[in-house]
């Protein structure tokens, strides 16, 4: 069975169910530039700026959302992460799309086809060949920089390991690009001390980066300080942390952690308690440094990763077999943020939860540590990963409105590796406008389009610009 392609699915008023929603979106939200302050785009690809060339590479090469959908539809792994041709992989994705109905993949796919390629027809088996050819003809000429400019993406923050040379960020900064590309300091690799082989290899990499030997805890912190300074000099405004499970907050002393690090260097197996003490100390040290620099810190909390051992062994990490965890976060967040706040060293903070059952937990925890230094210092982050769909976005906006201040929200991000993912900002903006307009119709907020429109524009762009202290183009 095929879907009928008799008329466009993505209309001007897609997701806008009232005249008020249409006004808020078309008059206020639609024209705002995009700030995407968290994603996994390749700075190398942007700097080299070669034509993207092929829609399969742009869409399917690293997209675990699509991989999961294809597996659920019974597509063989050869057509997902395997050795099948790019055309055959796209054909199998086209076969899958109609059956993603009510999954955000259906909306995202059609939005991206419309915005980048002006394609109104629904991707499915009888349209896949034509869409593949038309998209590839356009992508043969379109570079990453052009795709970003086409969507008015003014600024993106990539996700970068502390040992990154940032050479491609430097090239972009020196070039003539519409989009500003800034690094983000992703600290995860500092924490994996329990794995002697991989952590030793990482310290060797860090040694080479800072040109001195990391043979003590003090020298590790000297290296961390140098890398933070380096990132700061190249425009970094954010850090990120994405370790599985709750934040590490156990009692420790500096002397204890010094001895723990010595034990690791001597290749003595550490206990779970020692690992927790080391991780706690590193976490606090980094957060105090971020405060010193005036950076925002991000915490992505809640996944349970690599559930399918067979698939991980076959395809590697990030194979698309991560899911929502059921950890407890409230106590560790309270202790961690509370201690930093008590020291007056709590920097701007954004926390993202993956489990929707934790919405109210995260929203209320962030409100405990706001101060008068800037609006919305503590942010409950946008709907993330499994939650960045219509229902998840609406729930996040409603909970934030009930418990915090929606008006100071720093808005949407893609968290994507694809240069074709930026219509997700449009998706969010349409949902936001429709939600506020629905309140107008119900008499829950005043029917003042100018006032409401300004709040919409702030959430779409202005709040992020002011919060992160980005320089405008």
pLDDT digit string (tens) for 392-450?
A: 999 999 999 999 999 999 999 999 999 999 999 999 999 999 999 999 999 999 999 99
Given a cut of 70, is residue 130 above it in pLDDT?
A: yes
Q: Does the structure show a pLDDT above 80 at 193?
A: yes
Q: What is the CATH number of the domain that holds 113?
A: 1.10.2020.10
Residue 293 falls inside a structural domain: yes
Strand arrangement, sheet containing 34-36? 34-36, 153-157, 180-182
Rounded to 5 degrees, φ, ψ at 154 are: -80, -35
Residue 29 forms part of a structural domain? yes
Q: What residues form DSSP beta bridges with 36? A: 156
**CB-based contact 461:33 (threshold 8 Å):** yes
Same domain, 269 and 367: yes
- Residue 152: pLDDT band (50, 70, 90) is very high
- Candidates 382, 470, 394, 404; CA nearest to 432 is 394
- Note the residue count of the chain: 473
Those residues with Cβ within 8 angstroms of residue 414's Cβ, 6 or more apart along the chain or in another chain: 36, 38, 39, 421, 422, 424, 425
Q: In which band, very low, low, confident or very high, does the pLDDT at 266 lie, cut at 50, 70 and 90?
A: very high
- The rounded distance, in Å, linking the Cα atoms of 84 and 348 is 46
Is 27 domain-assigned? yes
Mark which of 79, 109, 141 sits at the end of a domain: 141
pLDDT for 438 equals 98
pLDDT for 290 equals 98
Q: Of the residues 109, 141, 173, which one is the last residue of a structural domain?
A: 141
Quote the pLDDT of residue 136: 98
**Does some domain include residue 12?**
no
Does 7 map to a domain?
A: no
Residue recorded with tokens 């499970």: 245
Task: Write out the H or E segment, with its range, that includes residue 300.
Answer: strand 296-301
Note whether 263 and 341 are same-domain residues: yes
Reduced to 3 states (helix: H, G, I; strand: E, B; else coil), residue 14 is coil
DSSP 196-222: HHHHHHHHHHHHHHHTS---SHHHHHH
Residue-averaged pLDDT of the chain: 96
Question: What is the number of other CB atoms lying within 10 angstroms of the CB of residue 332?
Answer: 18
- Whether 163 and 243 map to the same domain: the answer is yes
Residues 23 and 134 in one domain: no
Res. 473: pLDDT tops 60: no
User: Which residue range is the domain that position 419 belongs to?
Assistant: 19-50+142-468
With a pLDDT cut of 70, the percent of the chain lying above it is 99
**Rounded distance, CA 362 to CA 283, Å?**
19
Amino acid 318: pLDDT? 85
* One domain, residues 93 and 223: no
CA angle 353, 358, 363 (to 5 degrees): 80
Please report the pLDDT score of residue 2 as a whole number.
81
The verdict on 194 and 311 lying in the same domain is: yes
Residue 191 belongs to a domain: yes
| DSSP single-letter state for residue 347 | -
Asked if residue 2 belongs to a domain, the reply is: no
Domain total of the chain:
2
Instruction: For residue 341, give both structure tokens.
Output: 């706040």
What pLDDT score was predicted for residue 4?
Answer: 84
Are 91 and 179 members of one domain? no
Decide which of 141, 158, 180 is a domain's last residue. 141
Q: How many CB atoms lie within 10 A of CB 124?
A: 18
Structure confidence at residue 348 (pLDDT): 98
* DSSP letter assigned to residue 344: T
pLDDT (0 to 100) of residue 472: 66
Pairing state between β 323-324 and 303-304 = antiparallel
> What pLDDT, on the 0 to 100 scale, is given for residue 257?
98
Predicted confidence (pLDDT) at residue 6 exceeds the cutoff of 60: yes
For residue 160, give both structure tokens: 């970068």
170: CB partners within 8 A, 6+ apart: 234
Residues 269 and 292 in one domain: yes
Quick one: 401 and 430 in the same domain? yes
Quick: pLDDT tens for 112-127: 999 999 999 999 999 9
| Residue 4 CB coordination number (10 Å) | 6
Q: Which CATH number covers residue 442?
A: 3.20.20.140
Half-sphere exposure of 275 (CA within 13 A, CB side): 13
Q: Are 182 and 156 in contact (CB under 8 A)?
A: yes
Mean pLDDT along residues 20-40 = 98
Same domain, 171 and 26: yes
Portion of the chain with pLDDT greater than 90, in percent: 95
Predicted confidence (pLDDT) per residue in 409-425, tens digit: 999 999 999 999 999 99
Q: What is the pLDDT of residues 322-373, one digit of tens each?
A: 999 999 999 999 999 999 999 999 999 999 999 999 999 999 999 999 988 8
Same domain? For 88 and 30 the reply is no
- 9, part of any domain: no
Residues 29 and 86 in one domain: no
């Amino acid at each position: 069975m095929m879907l009928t392609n008799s008329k466009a699915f993505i209309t001007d008023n897609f997701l806008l169910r009232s005249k008020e929603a249409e006004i808020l979106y078309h008059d206020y939200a639609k024209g705002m530039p995009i700030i995407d302050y968290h994603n996994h785009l390749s700075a190398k690809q942007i700097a080299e700026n070669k034509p993207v060339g092929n829609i399969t590479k742009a869409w399917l090469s690293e997209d675990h959302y699509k991989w999961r959908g294809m597996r659920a539809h019974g597509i063989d792994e050869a057509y997902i992460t395997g050795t099948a041709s790019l055309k055959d992989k796209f054909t199998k994705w086209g076969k899958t799309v109609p059956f993603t109905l009510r999954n955000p993949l259906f909306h995202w796919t059609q939005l991206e086809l419309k915005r980048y390629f002006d394609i109104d027809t629904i991707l499915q088996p009888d349209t896949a060949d034509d869409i593949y050819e038309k998209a590839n003809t356009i992508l043969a000429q379109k570079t990453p920089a052009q795709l970003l400019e086409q969507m008015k993406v003014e600024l993106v923050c990539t996700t970068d390991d502390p040992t990154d040379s940032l050479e491609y960020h430097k090239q972009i900064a020196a070039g003539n690009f519409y989009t500003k590309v800034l690094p983000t300091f992703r600290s995860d690799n500092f924490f994996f001390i329990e794995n002697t082989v991989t952590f030793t290899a990482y310290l060797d990499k860090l040694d080479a980066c800072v040109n001195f030997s990391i043979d003590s805890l003090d020298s590790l912190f000297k290296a961390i300080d140098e890398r933070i300074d380096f990132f700061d000099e190249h425009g970094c405004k954010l850090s990120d942390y994405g370790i599985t499970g709750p934040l590490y907050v156990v009692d420790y002393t500096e002397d204890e952690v010094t001895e723990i690090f010595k034990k690791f260097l001597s290749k003595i197996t550490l206990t779970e308690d020692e690992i927790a003490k080391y991780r706690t100390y590193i976490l606090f040290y980094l957060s105090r440094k971020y405060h010193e620099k005036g950076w925002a810190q991000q915490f992505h909390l809640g996944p349970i990763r690599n559930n399918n051992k067979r698939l991980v062994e076959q395809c590697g990490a990030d194979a698309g077999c991560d899911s929502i965890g059921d950890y407890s976060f409230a106590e560790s967040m309270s202790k961690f943020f509370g201690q930093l706040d008590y020291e007056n060293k709590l920097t701007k903070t954004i926390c993202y939860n993956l489990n929707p059952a934790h919405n109210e937990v995260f929203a209320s925890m962030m409100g405990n540590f706001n101060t008068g230094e800037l609006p919305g210092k503590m942010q409950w982050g946008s709907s993330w990963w499994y939650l960045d769909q219509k229902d998840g976005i609406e729930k996040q906006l409603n909970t934030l409105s009930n418990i915090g201040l929606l008006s100071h929200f720093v808005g949407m991000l893609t968290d994507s590796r694809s240069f074709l993912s930026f219509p997700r900002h449009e998706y969010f903006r349409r949902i936001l406008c429709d939600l506020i307009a629905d309140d107008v119709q119900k008499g829950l907020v005043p029917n003042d389009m100018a006032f409401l429109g300004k709040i919409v524009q702030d959430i779409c762009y202005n709040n992020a610009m002011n919060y992160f202290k980005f320089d405008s183009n």
